[in-house]
Structure 1
Amino acid sequence: MPYTPPPDLAGLSLMDVARLMEERGLPPLDQWQPEHVGDSEMRIAADGRWYHQGGEVRRPGMVRAFASLLLRDDDGQHWLVTPHQKLSIEVEDAALIATDVKCEDGALAFRLNTDDLVIAGPDHPLRVSGTAEEPAAYVMARHGIEARLDRSTWLQLAEIALADGDEPVVSSNGASFSLLPA
């Protein structure tokens, strides 16, 4: 079956985003307990590009498939998980990149570089680290995996905060998030 990416975020309502998130049907990684543990020989660069044994993974479908199998444990280690194996993967910064944001009805919806959609809130918090001169903003995607906001998405988020008042704060699904580095 051919892959059909979701429409542009601007053309989706918040209900459309929620429906598409539900339809995504991600694997139940937290329920799998594979016996084999090893190294995937994979790396995700800070710019979101994926590499295997030093060569770039150029097929977006492969990146989407691998990303659906990613989780991060409590120690911060990223893993590719299947029912039969758990393979470590090196992640330079964040495993995913947020490439767009939309504010509607008190919620912030993000589109990721894997075409996944995330609505920020208590279960998908935003956090900002770095410095005031070089902030780095992240949204929790799933299974401990974060997506770093790219520069244009960060600027969109800053505009949303400034449109709502003088404070560098945004709200989504009842949760408020400071845009100042912690």
Structure 2
Amino acid sequence: MPGPMPPPDLAGLSLAEIARLAEERRLPPVAQWQPAHCGHSGMAIAADGTWFHEGSPIGRPAMVRLFSTILRREPEGGYVLVTPVEKLDIDVADAPFLAVELKSEGEGAARRLAFRLNTGDLVVAGPDHRLRVEERQDGPHPYLHVRDRLDALVARPVYYELAALALAEGGEPPALWSDGACFPLVPA
């Protein structure tokens, strides 16, 4: 399998190009792999999206991108790195991905929102990639569904961009459309 490509520059791409790149991304069929559990990987993903191995940050973005392609969330809620021959636990503090950049095109119901994740993945919010906001003691936590049972925490600056767009549209409650789906930007 070829290694993951470096992340594209979101600002230089149209939403149509972003959607095409997101759809072309081929991931390993981790949902089909059912190997024996082999223990803990010694890896963790911090709430800020930093990946660690045995307490040290993984400094090579290509390694993080590669590991992210074999990440799976189990039905009982835990996270694992899975290959055809082994399954290893990985600790995840909040969400395994972080949405770090936003691109918006259009307005109202014709709007499309694209996100770049800390792993370089591109995700266009829509019916299959929903935005949601959870209220917690420390404030709202916005999430973007990435794939299967994996979400990205929307970075605070990106959430502020979303909020500014929603407030400019004047809806009550503040909400944004993307790819034909409407997403309230307040906790449910």
TM-score when normalising by structure 2: 0.88
Amino acid at match of 1:94: A
Consecutive unaligned residues of structure 1, counting only runs of 5 or more, are none
Q: Which secondary structure state, in structure 1, belongs to the residue aligned with residue 43 of structure 2? A: strand
* Residue 117 (structure 1) aligns with: 122
Offset from partner CA, 1:32-76 (integer Å, 9 cap, x none): 121344211111111111111112111111111111111112322
What is the total number of aligned residue pairs between the two structures? 182
Contact 1:21 1:118 (8 Å CA) reproduced: yes
Distance 1:103 1:56 in 2: 32
Alignment pair present for 1:17 and 2:18: yes
* Residue 173 (structure 1) aligns with: 179
The percent of aligned pairs where both chains have the same amino acid is 52
* Residue 29 (structure 1) aligns with: 30
Match of 2:133 among 125, 128, 131: 128
Offset from partner CA, 1:93-149 (integer Å, 9 cap, x none): 111110011122422110001110001111111110125972110101112111111
* Residue 70 (structure 1) aligns with: 71
Distance 1:132 1:12 in 2: 37
Shift of 1:3: 6.6
Tell me how large the CA RMSD over aligned residues is.
Answer: 1.9
Contact 1:70 1:143 (8 Å CA) reproduced: no
Distance 1:104 1:132 in 2: 33
Consecutive unaligned residues of structure 2, counting only runs of 5 or more, are none
Distance 1:121 1:37 in 2: 36
TM-score when normalising by structure 1: 0.91
Distance 1:102 1:151 in 2: 15
